[in-house]
Structure 1
Amino acid sequence: MSQATTGTSVAIAAPSLQIFEGHVTTTSNQIAKHFGKEHKIVMRAIRNLRNTVDADFYECNFAPIQIVTDLGVGRTRQDPAYRITRDGFVFLAMGFTGKEAAAWKVAYLTAFNRMEAELQKPAYDPDQIALAHRAALVATAEVYQSVFDAVMHAQDWQLNRYMLRFDVTAEEGAVARVKPVDRNAYVMPIDRFHCAIEDSLAVDVQTLTQLASTCTARLGRMAARNVVAAPQQGSLQLR
């Protein structure tokens, strides 16, 4: 554990914090040890905070836990304690005064800042990087092949559009699928489709009529399939 000398003559050790459920935390017994207080005094101060802060804030930042206390000669005991977040520490440490207490406050906040910054860094997963690299290579090869086929068929490939999709299956792993898209085709999320109709198709009555007819036919086929697939419960047969 590294140590830093503060403005006082006291050498302050960097607190050892823990990550619990995605949050950087410390414990009441560690705070008692570092600030030179009895653990029961710190516990009482934490309980007193229940009457001064919002209940939700208290429960989110002060979680009761059990710690193992070494009694010596191979004996241990389970004692109550609290797991404390950064915000909980700030409220609790407000009541600690003196130069040494100030130095420990700085040491704790520095440790909290450092660990929280580490948590915010994107996770580096070598397997995911390798998977993405292989999928990108496959996608590139698919586009190359599509462009080559267009050239061989004397097509104007420079204006071609492609839709790229990645699928992950247990059998094939990451599979890149590249599909040519018509140059005048709409590619959009379904929730924006109605806006496209209002903006562009509404002025073309013939196109709008054709679209409505196609949708009606499609809905009819879907309804027919649902009727066939539905269980015929409570049906009455006449002879």
Structure 2
Amino acid sequence: MISRGLDEDGYIAREGSLERVPPEFGPVVDAARERIAAAFDPARLHSAYLYGSIPRGTAVPGVSDLDLLLALRHEPTPEDRAGADAVGAALDAAFPQVDGVGVLLFDVDTLLSELERHDLGWFVACLCTPLLGEDLGALLPRYRPTSLLARETNGDLALALPRWRERLATDAESRLTMLSRAVSRRLVRTGFTLVMPRWNGWTSDLTASAEAFAVHYPGRAEQMRLAAAVARTPTTDRATLAVLIDDLAPWLAAEYTAVHGQKAPRP
């Protein structure tokens, strides 16, 4: 039995599976498997994974995007990136069910490294659903909703703020939808993981994440609910984005550091 995203032993349960993929997205997943296998031979590709709303079973046709992670046997090259981009573009063009395709590329050594044990490693083990190849999750530990996990997943929010502010000031209106989606999702995830050890569980649901945060920070509850709303329905309104980027985000970054500390620096 799973309660608040935890298994009966109190570890975070893997949140997705191929069995949960909605029927409308079955052909998309099948095509992704085929196109990845055709573009990356076994000498390059160790394994491939789905993550996000499609394997969680909450995807909405025409609204949700397709999220993929490819684990390579070597550090990704420009050719690997070009191949992944081509796969993503082909899937996006072929299937109106998805609104965009994103493909992450990492090498196996990085995903299994000690530095990434509580970030990318946790991501693969708990948030990714195996699609092709041998599951790296079998080589990773089980995870509890601890302060260490909170620190290593989202303890670097402050690093994103200068880039967000620059983009808010300079991006054309046509690009603000993309910015609002990225900012709002990041803020909701960070707000949730701030309180995750006290909530004692895991969820990727935006509304549930915002409400878990609101219990502990009622003074910032409406701003976090706004972030969750923008994550679901992106906006081009600069005033709304300014509330998130110039007010909620710096407060959240400072509070996160005070509670959990800063994420270990990456090279």
Q: Report if TM-score (shorter chain) is over 0.5.
A: no
Compare relative contact order (CA 8 Å, sep 6+) and give the higher one, 1 or 2. Answer: 2
User: Which is strand-richer, 1 or 2?
Assistant: 1
For the pair shown, which has the larger CA radius of gyration, 1 or 2?
1
Query: What's the TM-score, normalizing by structure 2?
Result: 0.23
User: Which is helix-richer, 1 or 2?
Assistant: 2
Query: What's the TM-score, normalizing by structure 1?
Result: 0.25
